[in-house]
Amino acid sequence: MSSFKEKIDTTRLPKHIAIIMDGNGRWAKERGYDRIFGHQNGVTSVRETTETAAELGIEYLTLYAFSTENWSRPQAEVDALMELLIDTIEKETPTLTKNNVRLMAIGDLSRLPNNAGEKLQRCIAQTSQNTGLALVLALSYSSRWEITNAIKNICKEVIDGKCNIEDINDDLISSHLTTKSIPDPDLLIRTSGEIRISNFLLWQIAYTELYFTETHWPAFRKENLYQAISEFQQRDRRFGK
């Protein structure tokens, strides 16, 4: 059976792939399990996707792991999800380093429980010298939170005389977002059949190619990523020109 991998032109890879990992709950329900079983299986997909992106030579992979809105889920699910996220990050840190992967995080990290925040910062520090794939976890992230925060900070700089209103442009706004050191995504993937963006990277996806698949996140494998990249390479990106 031929693979989508063979169709990929390795000289024209997306530099940055972002993923809305959706469908963990539905995947579990369809199999008669509770939602957390779906999240646990989602970890396998995270591992496989990270490994595949690193192997291909993708520079940035951003995963929407926990949204600001997710704080409103039942407390038991929030606690289980937090624990799973942080335990996984901690457990996988040696493997990340072995594969030269650098961990980064975007979002309102001040809302994470103390011990989770500390563990996350430790893993980020431990992998900070790695030079391969940057794995960016969006945690307690929402785009409107991020943009609101940027506006507040820019206003403060104007009031303090550090910046003039005339200096406010695309670049200045980008440099006040949590993604400031990260190029905009070239490709955004959403799994599980939902055709919406759900408050993810709204500013950054202005010219991003969008790819939607019916596959639930826990079933997402190497081949699904190859297929998405192969379709991305068939798109004609004109950036409005």
Give yes or no for a contact between 204 and 141, defined as CB atoms under 8 angstroms apart.
no
Determine which one of 9, 22, 24, 164 is catalytic. 22
Contact segment (CB under 6 A) with ligand FPP among 3-11, 17-25, 150-158, 229-237 equals 17-25
Q: Does residue 186 bind ligand FPP (CB under 6 A)?
A: no
- Residue 9 burial (CB < 10 Å; 0-12/13-18/19+)? exposed
Q: Does residue 84 bind ligand FPP (CB under 6 A)?
A: yes
Determine which one of 24, 34, 41, 70 is catalytic. 70
Give the strand pairing for 209-212 and 134-141. Answer: unpaired
Rounded to an integer, what distance in angstroms lies between the CA atom of residue 27 and that of residue 33? 9
Q: Which of 5, 7, 15, 26 binds ligand FPP (CB under 6 A)?
A: 26
Residues 93-112 that bind ligand FPP (CB under 6 A): none
Rounded to an integer, what distance in angstroms lies between the CA atom of residue 190 and that of residue 224? 11
Rounded to an integer, what distance in angstroms lies between the CA atom of residue 191 and that of residue 63? 12
Contacts of 213 (CB under 8 A, 6+ apart): 189, 190, 191, 192, 193, 220, 224, 227, 228
146 vs 154, which CB is nearer to ligand FPP? Answer: 146
Interface characters, 32-71, with ligand FPP (x: CB under 6 A): ---x---x--xx--x----------------x-x----x-
- 100 catalytic? Reply is no
Q: Does residue 19 bind ligand FPP (CB under 6 A)?
A: no
Other Cβ atoms closer than 10 A to 84: 16
Q: Does residue 134 bind ligand FPP (CB under 6 A)?
A: no
- 22 catalytic? Reply is yes
The secondary structure of the chain in percent helix, strand, coil, rounded to multiples of 5, reads 50, 15, 35
Q: Which of 13, 16, 24, 123 binds ligand FPP (CB under 6 A)?
A: 24
- Interface residues with ligand FPP (CB under 6 A)? 21-26, 35, 39, 42-43, 46, 63, 65, 70, 84-85, 88, 137, 217
Catalytic residues, by residue number, are: 22, 70
